[in-house]
Amino acid sequence: MRTYNLFYRQAGDFERLVETKEIEDSENILIQVFTGITDTNHIREVQKEVKRCFSKAVLIGTTTGGEIYNGNVFEGSTVISVSVFERSRVKLALSEEKTSALMAEKLAQTLSERESKLTIVFADGLNSNGDDIVSAFNRICPNVPLVGGLAGDGFSFKGTFTFTTDEILPHGGVGVAILSKELYITKHYNLAWIPIGKEMKVTRAEGNRLYEIEGKSAVEIYKEYLGSAAQELLPHIAIEFPLVFERDGILIARACLGIDKDGAMIYEGAFKPGEKVRFSIWDTGIMLESTAQALKKFRSSPSETIFVYTCAARKYLMGREVEVETKHLQNIAPTSGFLTYGEFYNFGNKNGFLNYTLTAVSLSENRESRAVLTEELGEEKNREPIRFRALVSLVNSITQELVRANRELKQLAERDPLTGLYNRRKIVELLEEEISRAERYARPFSLILADVDNFKSINDMYGHQTGDEVLKEIAHLLQRELREADALARWGGEEFIVLMRETNLTEGMFVGQKIKNAIRDHFQDKYDERISLSIGVTSFREGDTVNSIIRRADMAMYFAKQRGKDTVMSY
């Protein structure tokens, strides 16, 4: 195969390329157009010129956040890449569906063929959900790598376009499948962001709309961690400190596009409630190391052309440094591509949607590598990256220490130091939550209050240390007999309390009998004084408060004592 890259300046440039290189019309030709000019009149001029030269070749194009021509990165220009395959065929698909899932499903169904070796998709950059797109391709074309990305518009966020030879789509997307019996594909991606600080749970998100982290608004979280002035700089400051998280073992970053009127922060990709996110910062050292790995990989593999689809946010942050990677790739094979609003990438057994990442794919129809050996990236140690990583390590170490300290403080605040069970304060908190739940959803729950019979005699006869061991033993036995859904606490002294969710009074009495028998049988003949439990059981009633339900359980326990101990009573 051969690839010719053209920096398109004016009408006639493409026709001259075709004439000079003597490119003959064929369905084996893939033309990719990357333009930073979002004027549809300009796109139509390019389409007309391509149609004058070819009727069989396949064209897919996109507006961009930047264009890559022979390893150099430009803005507001048009780059045309012409790949002429010798033994491969190119199949086109397009969809004007406005919902990402339907659009992707239509593209994937059209492009799904047995001989498909690679799919390239360009989709609307402002309304598409990249995760929906990769989900459809993973389902319909599970064994075919997906590359490409979301269209850009130079960060104006006014409108993006994808197009073919005949169509210009303000919504939807276009794609191609490369069909071949012999096509060698090598992939590489580079995410040079280091997670920093503590993990935070996403508590409310709808697709790519992030509302809450740790129960606070996403905007408030940025303000809390980056300073009160950060709110005035949003969403731009969010681009410099992206949120990262792990999904399927892969570290993924998310780029913020803006903030909606309802307070949602809108990102290029989706978040899932429950995912743990962290802030991150850029590391030039990691970028250079990853670039060196890519060069070694592509040099040792067949590479006749390289397509790069990389996040536009990288140029926003890196400036001209963004060319370091692509210029070195150009030394291996003709390199072209565009700066995306989110890029697709294949991780071997699954496609994913990324942000802030450079993705590169090299293609070859020949087994032997044609790569020209070039100088390696310099490995001289730079003091600044070393200092930077040392600072990151210091911050993360301090964060881990604080997380451990907070965990220990929480343990002290919630747990009884002797038995390790919940303490009085925590069980009251859980009771308040369960009462609210019972009132809202009309769900039952029951409460057990148990007192150790003859405990004072154990202390007097064997000493307080033995008494403490008895309490710990009882705590262990109760935990063993109860469900995971039940909450067990030391109420005070020799009293224990059990909150049993989704349990009515009859069921609560059954549990009371079970734990009474377990304690009696375990301590049978172990001490001169008989150790047993007097147990009171009650269940939630409409209008209950924490005090009222505990008071009834205490009364039931008092009745059990009056009945001769080692007894279960309800009230």
Domain boundary among 246, 280, 314: 280
Q: Are residues 199 and 161 in the same domain?
A: no
Give the tens place of pLDDT for each residue, 14-27: 999 999 999 999 99
For residue 163, tell me if it sits in a domain: yes
For the chain, the C-alpha Rg in angstroms (whole number) is: 33
pLDDT of residue 268: 81
Instruction: Give yes or no: residues 247 and 274 share one domain.
Output: yes
Last residue within a domain, chosen from 280, 310, 343:
280
If asked whether residues 488 and 566 sit together in one domain, one would say: yes
462 in a domain, yes or no? yes
Query: Does 360 share its domain with 385?
Result: no
Round to whole Å and give the CA distance between 76 and 60: 18
Please indicate, yes or no, whether residues 397 and 499 belong to a single structural domain of this protein. no
User: Do the Cβ atoms of 89 and 103 come closer than 8 Å?
Assistant: no
Distance, C-alpha 232 to centroid of its chain: 26
pTM of the entire predicted model: 0.69
The DSSP letter of residue 170 is S
pLDDT, tens digit, 9 for 90 and up, residues 86-107: 999 999 999 999 899 999 999 9
Exposure b/e, 510-530, CB count within 10 A at least 16 = b: ebbeebbebbeeebeeeeebe
Query: Is 166 in contact with 47 (CB distance < 8 Å)?
Result: yes
Please report which helix (H) or strand (E) contains residue 252, including its range.
Answer: strand 250-254
Same domain? 147 vs 296: yes
User: 201: domain range?
Assistant: 193-280
Please indicate whether residue 494 is annotated as part of the active site: yes
In a domain? residue 49: yes
Q: Are residues 90 and 41 in the same domain?
A: yes
Q: What is the pLDDT of residue 198?
A: 85
* Residues 410 and 440 grouped into a single domain: no
The pLDDT score that the predictor gives to residue 406 is 66
373 domain-assigned: no
Q: How many CA atoms lie within 13 A of 174 on its CB side?
A: 24
Do 48 and 123 lie in a common domain? yes
Query: How many domains does the chain contain in total?
Result: 4
| CA–CA gap between residue 186 and residue 380 (Å, rounded) | 28
pLDDT at 402: 63
Tell me which of 494, 507, 529, 542 is the catalytic residue. Answer: 494
The per-residue pLDDT for 483 is: 93
Q: What is the CATH number of the domain that holds 542?
A: 3.30.70.270
Of the three residues 218, 245, 280, the one that is the final residue of a domain is: 280
Given a contact cutoff of 8 angstroms between Cβ atoms, the answer to whether 111 and 142 are in contact is no
Q: State whether 407 and 428 are in the same domain.
A: no
Question: Could you tell me which residues come within 8 angstroms of residue 54 by beta carbon, excluding any fewer than 6 positions away?
Answer: 18, 25, 29, 31, 165
Q: Looking at the structure, do residues 405 and 455 belong to the same domain, yes or no?
A: no
Identify the CA nearest to 177 among candidates 137, 133, 118, 134.
118
3-state secondary structure 19-85: HHHCCCCCCCEEEEEEECCCCHHHHHHHHHHHHHHCCCCEEEEEECCCEEECCEEECCCEEEEEEEC
Condensed to tens digits (0 to 9), the pLDDT of residues 366-413 reads 887 554 444 445 444 444 555 555 555 555 665 666 667 667 677 777
Ranges in the chain, pLDDT < 70: 230-231, 369-403, 405-406, 408
Residues 471 and 501 occupy one common structural domain: yes
